[in-house]
Amino acid sequence: MTTKVKVISLIIVVCLFAVSCKHSDEHKYHTVTDKIEANSIVYKGETSSDIYNETIKKVEVKDGEFEFLIPERKSQIASYNCTECHSQPLEKLKEHKVGEKAAHWNIKLNHAGPETMNCTTCHGKNDFDNLQSLTNSEIDFNYSYKLCSQCHQDQFKDWKGGAHGKQLGGWAPPRVSNTCVNCHNPHSPQFEKRWPVRFNTTVEKERE
């Protein structure tokens, strides 16, 4: 063998070794999923999605096997605490000067129907700082999903499981999900029907 051939075969051996080493590293994982899971424990130096949800004030949901976080609501409700005004009976509050606008005039109930629902279905007959269930149990404003789940069990179960609604700040734990009232106005919960967005190809062609 000439020296040239020797050198070339040595290079080939080294290359093969390098390739096989890389290959054996791949075999640390049985499947692609294993590899993704191993690499996602620490992602870009982070071990959780906390940094993406830092600015949101959260409360904990615990329901059977489900444990996750939802945005806190009370600090977001303009007229909370309600008892700032609702410390006297409604009849007293309703005594207005002529021409004065009623409080909450902008809230129009468009949910179920008047046979099923009015303000007192959800708001305290006595305690205005809490919501109330159909059997008059207190429900904290931060946990208003409990109110909705009385009548919308299917959506509630889907929501708990993560199928209805939206997860915030990615899929890494801890899970933070929007709560019902982040998307639905409780007083008028349905969304307006609208046409799908359509790209106008006709106009585009005319311009060519």
Q: Per CB under 6 A, does 56 bind ligand HEC?
A: no
Could you give the dihedral angle defined by the CA atoms of residues 25, 30, 33 and 37, in that order, rounded to the nearest 10 degrees? Answer: -60
Q: Per CB under 6 A, does 75 bind ligand HEC?
A: no
Q: How many residues bind ligand HEC (CB under 6 A)?
A: 53
Stretch that binds ligand HEC, among 3-11, 53-61, 144-152, 198-206 (CB under 6 A): 144-152
Q: Per CB under 6 A, does 14 bind ligand HEC?
A: no
Which of 53, 71, 86, 132 binds ligand HEC (CB under 6 A)? It is 86
Q: Per CB under 6 A, does 155 bind ligand HEC?
A: yes
Contacts 24+ apart (CB under 8 A), 119-127: 122/147, 122/186, 124/82, 124/86
As given in the structure block, the two tokens for residue 112 are 């179920």
Q: How far is the CB of 16 from ligand HEC (least distance, A)?
A: 54
- What would the x/- binding string for ligand HEC be over residues 15 to 54, using CB under 6 A? ----------------------------------------
Q: In one letter, which amino acid is 164? A: H
Which of 58, 69, 164, 174 binds ligand HEC (CB under 6 A)? It is 164
Helix (H) or strand (E) holding 131: strand 131-132
Task: List for the chain the helix, strand, coil content (%; round to 5).
Answer: 40, 10, 50
